[in-house]
Amino acid sequence: MKKEFSMSNDKVMINFTAKYCNTFESVLESDGFRRILEVYLRRSKKKNSLSYRYFNNTLDTDSLIDIRRDLTQIIKYLTLMTVEEIVEISTSYAKLLEDRDKFIAFIEDLYLFWRRLERYTIVHRYKVQEGLAAVSFTEANANFSTLILKLYRKIEIHVVGYQPKVYRQIPAGGNACIMIHEMEWVRPNGYELLEEVPFIDHILLETPFITYPKKNTRDGMFSEIKYNPLKYAQINKEHWFCYPAKIGGLLTFIYFHRDFMEHGITLCNLFEMARSEETRGRKPDIIYVFGAKDDDEELKTVFFDDAENDIMLGYVNHSEKIDYFGYIKKMTLTLYNLLMIKRGFLPIHGSMVNIVLKSGDEANVVIMGDSGAGKSESLEAFRGLSEDYISDMTIIFDDMGTFKMEDDKIIGYGTEIGAFVRLDDLDQGYAFKEMDRSIFMNPDKVNARLVVPVASYKEIMKGHAVDFFFYANNYDSVKDGEKYLNYFETPEDAIKVFKAGARMAKGTTTEKGLVESFFANPFGPAQKQEETNILIEKYFDKMFESGQVKVGQIRTCLGVKGQEKEGPRNAAIELFDEIRKINK
């Protein structure tokens, strides 16, 4: 990004390297302020708002350019003078400033308009910065935010004539600040389009980071194609960024268009960011291009197994339909799972946790199920009961993991350092407890989501022997006297239930009612069912043969009306008793 300011899709990007504002004057004379005021006035005119009619009447003009010019000049004056002093030197503004309440209403409205935009600030790591040379990456955004707050307050004081009694120190600069740099990596033939797209090196979040994407559910499956889709794509490197991720030991480059900046930024709460020394001069295992423009009017969510270059490539074209974090997260994990299947490992759509009870008993528990089955909610039930039962709890994965056979044991590995959790099904206080490090998506809507870090990369890659492997049954109710946990006696019985992947849809996708998905995992296994069937039989036979893993069902009741909260909690209590039994 070379321009000092850009605005697209209600997202603002401020290039601190091209221009860093550290005075009121530099802000008010910047291209960014001009653009913000222009867009604000254009929208006010379209709505015929009170503010616009006020300007129209008091400035005697219908020209947006003239109104913008006059307002900019008045705001400049207000950083130095009171209303009375301005009227003395320029009587032409007397009529506008006569009604101070209406002018303050405009200032408040403009400030609110600015704060409702998604604001991203950008620093280029290796370039000379104009006005930023002595300011560190973390200080740059904080100082800019303070400057905007001071500007807003100074103007208000000079209009009303006195200082406010209450100050609210809210983030007024960027919601997030990123440091980017050029990265040299091994680009095979067919990937030239991605050349010179900057890599994200650091991210600074102003939490809670709240976004309002246009979509709240994901639809359909990712399908395989037999050609490189980049051949027909168009990418303007000025509008693109790359998030380098470490996912389950694989190097992944996730490229995204600026229109989906909030999803790209959210990746930092979900996947470990690769360091420069882990990326430079290397070829990635996975490449995902999210939001590319092409000549195809249909939504394209595809992947290409580039065997020649040993790269698994994902591609989703630009559309408002993909403005949901699930599209960037799930495709990335699909690509990862496809590689795992190729290498003889079994992808698991579920959650894995190491639980240490206060009694000292310990177990590694895996709960498998498709979206909305109750995997994450069960983990939260464990956490909610921790004060009474648990001394320590470590999450290994909370959506997607991998089973590997090592030393005659089934070992579980994670992929993500964070969790993409449905707010509707969590304890009401949980979101508030995690607010200081969370990213919220559409918190006012159905299927509202929270993305929060839950584990370290070192921990998820350590490898843990599996003790319990449960299928999350969210559709069967539990009557008095019945158990929430039950076990299978043969691998055939277990495989039948796990492969059916039945669940009561909870609104996380566009599905409704009782639905099924192959092995509860439409993200890799469903696309490669033949290869996955071989792995399923191999791994389940091993679990029953060794007796190391207890395989069964856990009835979460998440899809049963009236039992959504109690189900996971009661199942968790029953599980704690089972952990005590295996340790005796």
pLDDT digit string, tens, across residues 442-477:
988 888 888 989 889 999 999 999 999 999 888 888
Residue 469 CA, distance from chain mean position: 28
Matching fold, domains 182-205+218-342 and 346-417+454-580? no
Instruction: Give, in degrees to the nearest 5, the angle at Cα 436 between 433 and 442.
Output: 85
What stretches of 83-207 show up as alpha helix (H) in DSSP? Answer: 83-89, 94-98, 100-116, 137-160
pLDDT at 384 over 90: no
What radius of gyration, in Å, describes the C-alpha atoms of the chain? 27
Q: pLDDT confidence of 511, banded at 50, 70, 90?
A: low
What CA–CA distances, in Å, run from 273 to 200, 242, 326, 356? Answer: 9, 11, 19, 29
Q: Give the closest residue to 246 by CA, choosing from 106, 78, 115, 418.
A: 418
Length of the chain: 584
Pairing mode of beta strands 209-211, 439-441:
parallel
What CA–CA distances, in Å, run from 293 to 193, 226, 240, 289? Answer: 12, 19, 12, 10
Q: Work out the average pLDDT over 379-400.
A: 83
pLDDT at 164 over 50: yes
Pairing mode of beta strands 272-273, 286-294:
unpaired
Token match 């605005």: residue?
Answer: 7
CA-based end-to-end distance of the chain: 61
Pairing mode of beta strands 502-504, 514-516:
antiparallel
| Per-range mean pLDDT, top range of 290-304, 499-513, 551-565 | 290-304
Which of helix, strand or coil describes residue 226? coil
Name the architecture of domain 182-205+218-342: 3-Layer(aba) Sandwich (3.40)
Residue 133: its pLDDT value, please?
Answer: 45
Residue 431: its pLDDT value, please?
Answer: 55
Whether 103 contacts 159, CB under 8 Å: yes
pLDDT, tens digit, 9 for 90 and up, residues 87-143 = 998 888 888 999 999 999 999 999 999 999 999 999 987 664 544 544 577 888 899
The three state secondary structure string of 486-547 is EECCCHHHHHHHHHHCEEECCCCECCCCEEECHHHCCCCCCCCHHHHHHHHHHHHHHHHHHC
Whether 274 contacts 245, CB under 8 Å: yes
pLDDT at 180 over 80: yes
What CA–CA distances, in Å, run from 372 to 502, 515, 565? Answer: 11, 11, 13
Domain ranges of the chain: 5-160, 182-205+218-342, 346-417+454-580
Q: pLDDT confidence of 508, banded at 50, 70, 90?
A: low
pLDDT, tens digit, 9 for 90 and up, residues 334-363 = 999 999 999 999 999 998 999 998 888 899
Does the domain at residues 346-417+454-580 carry the CATH identifier 3.90.228.20? yes
